[in-house]
Amino acid sequence: MPIVQPFLNSVRFSSTASAGTGTGATFAIAATAFTNDAGVAATAFPAAFSFYNLYLNGILQTADTSSVTTTSITIPGGDVLSGGSPVVVEFVVT
């Protein structure tokens, strides 16, 4: 039986912390505040993905740091970040 390699691809979205709203546990950044790999404004995050990685200031965050939907990413306590801090979300899709 041949081995079939799984198809994996990633899509990345970037923004800054200043695009977020809310404070404390409700701090969130809308998907529409991000640009995609092509530099075009995003309309939504992927609905189906294997996993995602969140980078704040270029540093990979642990899984308990955020939650994501197709419309936004919630980063509890993210309101303490400097407004210019880069936020990158990478979705690994199959």
Residue 82 lies in a domain: yes
How many Å apart are CA 13 and CA 53, to the nearest integer? 11
Spatial neighbors of 4 by CB under 8 A, at least 6 apart, are none
Assess if residue 2 is contained within a domain. Answer: no
In a domain, 45, yes or no: yes
In a domain, residue 14? The reply is yes
In a domain, 42, yes or no: yes
Would you say residue 25 lies in a domain? Answer: yes
pLDDT at residue number 2: 76
In a domain, 28, yes or no: yes
Domain count, the chain: 1
Contacts of 33 (CB under 8 A, 6+ apart): 15, 19, 20
The model's pTM is 0.90
Containing structural domain, residue 77: 9-93
Residue 3 lies in a domain: no
Q: Give φ, ψ of 73 to 5 degrees.
A: -120, 130
User: Could you state, in chain order, the average pLDDT of each consecutive group of 10 residues for the chain (94 residues)?
Assistant: 79 97 95 96 95 96 95 96 96 90
Q: What per-residue confidence (pLDDT) applies to 21? A: 95
